[in-house]
Amino acid sequence: MKAAESSPSAPSPAVDAAITHALFWLVAGNAMGTMIAVLLLLPGLNRLLGEWTYGRWMMVHMNTALYGWCSLPMLGFLFRTYGVERSALRLWGRPVVWLWSAALAVGCYSWLSGTSSGKLFLDWSGYARILFPLTMGALWLLLVFAFLGQRRNAEQARWRAAAAKLIGLAVLAAVPFALFYASSPDLYPAFNPDSGGPTGASQLESSLGMVLIVLVLPFGIARRLPGHARTLSLAWVLLAVEAAFCALLGRADASHRMPAQYIGLGSILLWLPLVPLYYRGFAWNCETRQWKQVFLCWWGLLVVSGWIFFLPGVLDRFKFTDGLVGHSLTAVAGFLTALLVFVMTQLIGDEHAWIFNSKWSFYAWNLGVLAYVMVMTAAGWIEGGNPGFTMAPGPLHHVLYFVRLLTGLAMLAASVEWWIAATQPFGRMRRYQTSHAGAIAA
Amino acid sequence: MRVNNITNGWRGAALVALTYIYFLIFAQFGFLARLTQAGIEGTNLRLVMGSMAAGGILLSLAVPRLRIWPQPALRLRLGFGIAAVGALAALLPPNTAGAALTAFIIGAGLGIVTVTLVTHLPQFTSTHRPILKVGFGVGLGYFVCNLPFVFEASPRQQSVLATFVCVAALALPLRAAVEESIAQPTGVQRLPFAAALGAFTALIWLDSAAFYIIQHTRQLKAETWMGSAHLWTNGCLHFAAAVAAALLLERSRTRLVLAGAYLALATACILLLDPAHALSASLLYPIGVSLYSVALVVYPSWLASAVSGDERARIAGWIYALAGWIGSALGIGMGQNLGHVPVAFVVVAGAAALALPQLELLRYRAREVALVGAVLGVAFVAHRAIDKHPAAAQLSIVEAGRRIYISEGCIHCHSQYVRPNSADVALWGPVEPIEEIRHQRPPLIGNRRQGPDLTQVGMRRSAWWLKAHLLDPAALSPGSVMPSYAVLFRDERGDQVVAYLVSLQSSTLEQQRALQRAWQPVSTPEASTEEGEQLYAQLCATCHEPHGAARQRWPQEFILMPTSLVENGLGHSYNLSLASVIKFGVPGTDMPGHEYLSDQQIASLVLWLAHNPVQPQLQR
C-alpha cells in the first residue's frame, strides 16, 4: 500500500491533545502498576503511603488505564470522524480533552481519598460520579454541533454516512447515563454462580461491544478499498446475528458449566479470521503496518485464551488467581494498546508515526506484555492448585513477581519513550495556534 | 584550554558549597542549638534572631550600593571574614546581648557573601556549563550538612566547622576566571523580577515553616532527620535534586523547576499535617528545597532580566533581603505560632509561586480553563442537589465498617465468594446463598485473591486477631504481603472495619464445623519433623512460646491465653484433632486456622507437635 493511497491525516491540536493526554495517563498508569509490583515484593514500603494505601492505588491504576489511556485516543478518533477539526468549533476539541483529564484527575483524587462505589471499573462515586458523565456530555455536545455544522455546509452529501454518524450520536448520548447508573451500588450484573465472575452471555456481550468498536473504527479514519464489500457485509451481518444470539442467552445468573454458556461464548472465535479480513478492506497508512499486525496477533490470542479460560475445569483452576490478571493484561496492554497505537498512528499520519515506531519501544512493550502474561499464567496455575503459593509466598513466588516487575519496567520505559516523543512536537502545536489565529482573523 | 575552563569553574561551585554549609549547619542550625543550650528562649530568642535578620537585610541591600571595595573577590573575603568572626564569637559563653551582637555579625557576613557571590558568580564558574556547577555546589553543600557526623555534631563543633569553612573560602584563589561580560549564557529563559520575588518568597516561607515544624516536633523529627539512614537519604536526595534543577535550568525550564519545587514543598507541608505521613514528607522536602535553592542562586546572574552588573546586584539584594531573610522569618513565625502550615496558605503560596505559569495558562489556554472551571462548577451544584448518601454518623458500626472496606479497596485482594463444590468450601466456607449476595449493596465478590476469601471470616477469626492482623499483618502471618492498616486505628475506622469483618459469618455454622472436624490431611509420606519445627517457629511460636511476640504484645487481649507448649506440651487427647485445629483453628478462641497450608505442611506440624510436646531447643 502506498502512502499516497491512504487517507490524509491533517494535523490537529485536538487530536494531538487527545494523544498526548492519553499517553500521559498510560505513563501514569504504568508507573502506578510498577509501584504496585514493588509493593507486592517489598510490603514494608506500604508504610510510606500513609492513608493512600495499596487498595486505593489499585483503583487509580485500573481506572486510569480504562478511562485515561483506553478512552482518550477514542476522543481523537471521534474528533476526526465527526469533523470537529474542520468545524467552527475546532478550537473546543482541546478544551474537551483537558476537561476529560481534569475529570479523571478528580476521580483519582476521590479514589485516593477513599471515595468508591465498590464496583470494579465502575468506581465512580460522589462528586466524580457526576463530573465524569458531565464531561462525556460536553464531548457529545461538541460532536453534535460539529455534525450539525457539517450538515449545514452540505459537506456530507452521502446520507448513509450521515445516518451512521447520527446513530453513533444516539449511542453516545446514552453512555453518560449508563455510566452514572451502572456505578450505582444498587445495580449488579448477572454472575456465574459457580465462579462469582461474569456469565458466558455477559462476556459475549462485552466482547461483541468490542467487536462493534473494531468494526466501526476504520470508517472514521481510513478509506474503503474496492473489492471487499462482501467481507464487510458479512462482518456486519454476523455481528447482528451474534447480538441476537446473545440476547437469546439472556441475562440471568448462569454457570460456565452450562453448554449454552461456553458454546455461546465460543461463537466469538468466528471473529478470529474475520477481523483481519475486514481490516484488509481499508487503506491504511504505511507506517501503521507493524502495529496493525501486532494488534491482530493480540486479538487472536485474546479471543482464544478468553474462551479457554472460561471452559469448565480451566476457569475453576484460574478464577481469583494471577492467571486471570494476566488475561486482563492480554486484553488491555496487549490487544487494546496495540489497537489504540495503531489508530493513533493512523490519526497522526506517516510523518509523525515515528513517535510509536521506534524498534526498541515496540519490542519492549509487546515482549514485556507477553512475558507478563506468561509469568502470571504460570503463577495462576500454581496458585489454582495451592492458594498458599500467594498467601504465604515463597522463593518461587518472589522470582515470578520479580520477573513481573521487570516486564512492568519494560512497559513503563516504552510508554515514557512514546510520551516524550509525542510531547516533543509542542512547537507544532504553537504553529497550529498561530495558523488558527490567522484563519480566524482572516 | 578546555580543561582549564572546566577546572577554573569549580571555584564557583566550591564557593556556593561553602556558603551553603556555613548557612545551613551553623547559621540556621548550630547557632540556634547553641542559643537553646544557653537558655535563650522566647522573646530573647526572637531578639537574637531579629538581629541576625537585621544584619542580613541591611547588608544585602547595602552591598550593591557600596562603592568601596568594588572588586567582588575583596568583598567576598570581607564577608567570609566577618562570618568567621561570627562563628568564633558563637564559641564564647553567650548572653542575650552578646548573642544578638554575634547574630548581627553572622547575618551581616552572610548578607555580604550571598549577594556578592550570586551577583558575580559568572566570574568564578567559567563559561563551561556554569549553571551545572552551581547546582553541583548547592547539592554538595546540602549533602555535607546531612552527613551524619556533621549533622549530629555538637553546636560547638558546628561553630568550629563554620569557622573552617570561612577559612577555606578565604584561602580560595578568587581571581576572576573569566570576564563577566562574556560569561553570560544566551538563550536562557528570563524570569521577571516581580514573579521571581513572589515565587522565592513563597517557597522560602514554606521551606522555613516546614523545617521549623519538623525540628520542633519530636515525632516528625524522628521520622525525618534522625538516624544515619534518614540523613544519608536526605543528603542524596538533596544532591540529586540540585543537579536535576541545574540541568533543567540550563534547558530553560525555570518555570518547571519552580513548579516542581512548589509541588514538592506544598505536598510535604500537607503531609506533615498527619504524623503518619512524615516519612513521605521527608522524601519530598529535600527535593523541593534543592530545586528552588539552585534557582535562587542562579537567578541574579543568569535568569534575571538585568542589563547591567549594578542592576543585577540590586536585584540580588532585594531578592535575598525580602525573599530570603523576611520570607524565612515569616515561615519560622508561622511554625512557632501555628505549629503547622494551613492548607489555605499552601494554596495562596501556590498562587504566588506559580503566578507566571498561571498567567500564561490563562492567556494561551483560556478556553480550556473556562470549560474545566464551568463543568467543575456545574458538577458541584448538581452533586449538592442530588447527593443523598447517608452520612457516616447515621450508619451502624458494621455498615460504616463495610464502607471502609470499600474505601480501602479491599476487594482488590480479597474475594467474598465461596465457590460451591470447590476446594473453597472447606477453606473459606460455607457457601453464601445467592439471594444474600444480591441483597448486598453492592456485592463485594471481587476478582482476585491476594489474600484469603473473607465471606465467612467472622467465623474463622476473632475480633482480636483481626485487629492485630490489621495493625501488623506480618507479625501474625509471616510473609504476608498485606500492608499495615494501623492508620485506621488512629480513629474509629479500625474498630468499624473489625466489626464489619466479624459480622461476616453464616447462620449455617454448625454444618461447616462438622465438615472441618471430619477433615484429615491426605497421606503425606514426605512430612517431616524438620519442616514441622520450622513451621512451628514461623507460625505458632508467636502465641505459644512464653516469649512469643504476639503473646508479649497482647497479654490482656486474648479470649483465652494460648497454651504455652514449651511449659505444658500437648495432651494426648488433643492429637486426634490436631490437624483440624491447625487447619481451621479453635472456635470461640483467638486460635486462627491456617487454611492455606498444604496437607504435607500440616502433617509435618502434627508430627513435630505430637512427638515433641516439650521443645527444649526452642527454649534456647
Q: Spell out which residues of chain B touch residue A187, defining contact as CB-CB under 8 Å.
A: 442
- Select from A118, A135, A325 the Cβ nearest to the Cβ of B442: A118
Strands A223-224 and A282-283: antiparallel
Checking if the pLDDT of A203 tops 90, the result is yes
**Which of A 189-208 lie inside 8 A of B, CB atoms?**
191, 193-197
pLDDT, average across residues A105-130: 93
- Select from B368, B422, B479 the Cβ nearest to the Cβ of A392: B479
Name the architecture of domain B188-382: Up-down Bundle (1.20)
What is the C-alpha separation between B273 and B281, in angstroms, rounded?
10
- Select from B283, B380, B601 the Cβ nearest to the Cβ of A127: B380
Main-chain dihedrals φ then ψ at residue A143, nearest 5 degrees: -65, -40
The H or E element that residue A282 is part of is strand A282-283
Q: In this structure, which topology does domain B1-180 adopt according to CATH?
A: Growth Hormone; Chain: A; (1.20.1250)
Pick from A373-377, B186-190, B314-318, B489-493: least confident: B186-190
Q: Which pLDDT does position B3 carry in this prediction?
A: 46
What is the C-alpha separation between B22 and B84, in angstroms, rounded?
9
Nearest CA in chain A to B372: A99
pLDDT, average across residues B137-162: 92
Most confident range, picked from A185-189, B2-6, B372-376, B511-515:
B372-376
Contacts of B7 (CB under 8 A, 6+ apart): none
Superfamily of domain A1-188: Cytochrome c oxidase-like, subunit I domain (1.20.210.10)
Given pLDDT bands bounded at 50, 70 and 90, which one contains residue A5? very low
Q: Spell out which residues of chain A touch residue B382, defining contact as CB-CB under 8 Å.
A: 130, 134
pLDDT tens digits for range A271-280: 999 999 999 9
What is the C-alpha separation between B531 and B600, in angstroms, rounded?
9
CB contact under 8 A, A194 and B481: no
- For cell 498510560, the residue is A26
Checking if the pLDDT of A3 tops 70, the result is no
Nearest CA in chain B to A184: B442
Checking if the pLDDT of B577 tops 80, the result is no
Is A250 at the interface with chain B, CB within 8 A? no
CB contact under 8 A, A51 and B487: yes
Q: Which pLDDT does position B189 carry in this prediction?
A: 65
Q: Give percent of chain B with pLDDT exceeding 90.
A: 41
Checking if the pLDDT of A425 tops 70, the result is no
How many other C-beta atoms lie within 10 A of the C-beta of residue A11? 17
Determine the residue among A320, A405, A429 to mutate to test chain B binding: the one whose Cβ has the most chain B Cβ atoms within 10 Å: A320
- Dig out the grid coordinates for A157 from the structure: 452529501
Q: Which pLDDT does position B506 carry in this prediction?
A: 81
**B512 or A328, greater pLDDT:** A328
pLDDT tens digits for range A204-236: 999 999 999 999 999 989 999 999 999 999 999
Amino acid at A374: M
Nearest to B320 by CA among B514, B480, B114, B508: B114
- Select from B375, B441, B598 the Cβ nearest to the Cβ of A99: B375
Q: Which pLDDT does position A6 carry in this prediction?
A: 40
> Is the domain covering B519-619 a CATH 1.10.760.10 domain?
yes
Kindly report the nearest CA distance between residue B333 and chain A, in angstroms.
Answer: 28
pLDDT, average across residues A249-265: 92
Burial class (CB in 10 A: 0-12, 13-18, 19+), A182: middle
pLDDT, average across residues B424-435: 87
What is the C-alpha separation between A412 and B204, in angstroms, rounded?
35
CB contact under 8 A, B375 and A119: no
Amino acid at A130: I
Name the architecture of domain B397-510: Orthogonal Bundle (1.10)
Given pLDDT bands bounded at 50, 70 and 90, which one contains residue B566? low
pLDDT, average across residues B589-613: 82
In whole numbers, what is the pLDDT of chain B averaged over residues?
85
**Which of B 246-275 lie inside 8 A of A, CB atoms?**
271, 274
Q: Which pLDDT does position B54 carry in this prediction?
A: 93
pLDDT, average across residues A344-357: 91
Q: Which pLDDT does position B38 carry in this prediction?
A: 83
Report in angstroms the alpha-carbon separations of B471 from A401, B464, B482, B486.
25, 11, 10, 4
Query: Where do the domains of chain A lie?
Result: 1-188
Q: Which pLDDT does position B338 carry in this prediction?
A: 87
Query: Where do the domains of chain B lie?
Result: 1-180, 188-382, 397-510, 519-619
pLDDT tens digits for range B90-106: 888 778 888 999 999 99
Concatenated DSSP letters for B117-155?
Answer: HHHHHHHHH-SSSHHHHHHHHHHHHHHHHTSHHHHTS-H
- Dig out the grid coordinates for B204 from the structure: 522560602
What is the C-alpha separation between A117 and A185, in angstroms, rounded?
6
Q: Which pLDDT does position B179 carry in this prediction?
A: 53
Max Cα-Cα span within chain B: 100
CB contact under 8 A, A185 and B444: no
- Confirm if A181 and A187 have CB atoms less than 8 A apart: yes
Q: Which pLDDT does position B272 carry in this prediction?
A: 86
CB contact under 8 A, B483 and A134: no
Q: What is the ipTM of this complex?
A: 0.91
Given pLDDT bands bounded at 50, 70 and 90, which one contains residue B184? low
pLDDT tens digits for range B465-510: 999 999 999 888 888 899 999 989 988 999 999 999 999 988 777 7
Main-chain dihedrals φ then ψ at residue A224, nearest 5 degrees: -70, 145
Given pLDDT bands bounded at 50, 70 and 90, which one contains residue B530? confident
- Confirm if B405 and B444 have CB atoms less than 8 A apart: yes
Is A91 at the interface with chain B, CB within 8 A? yes
Q: Spell out which residues of chain A touch residue B283, defining contact as CB-CB under 8 Å.
A: 48
∠ at Cα B476 (B475, B481), nearest 5°?
75
Report in angstroms the alpha-carbon separations of B307 from A272, B184, B253, B310.
70, 11, 21, 9
* Packed helices B366-386 and B355-364: angle between N→C axes, nearest 10 degrees: 100
Is B362 at the interface with chain A, CB within 8 A? no
Q: Which pLDDT does position B279 carry in this prediction?
A: 79
Is B378 at the interface with chain A, CB within 8 A? yes
What is the C-alpha separation between B400 and B334, in angstroms, rounded?
37
* Packed helices A337-348 and A289-310: angle between N→C axes, nearest 10 degrees: 160
Given pLDDT bands bounded at 50, 70 and 90, which one contains residue B597? confident
Same fold? B1-180, B188-382: yes
Main-chain dihedrals φ then ψ at residue A283, nearest 5 degrees: -90, 120
Nearest to A423 by CA among A3, A7, A22, A5: A22
How many other C-beta atoms lie within 10 A of the C-beta of residue B508? 15
CB contact under 8 A, B478 and A392: yes
pLDDT tens digits for range A379-399: 999 999 988 899 888 899 999
Kindly report the nearest CA distance between residue B21 and chain A, in angstroms.
Answer: 30
* Packed helices B193-215 and B327-338: angle between N→C axes, nearest 10 degrees: 40
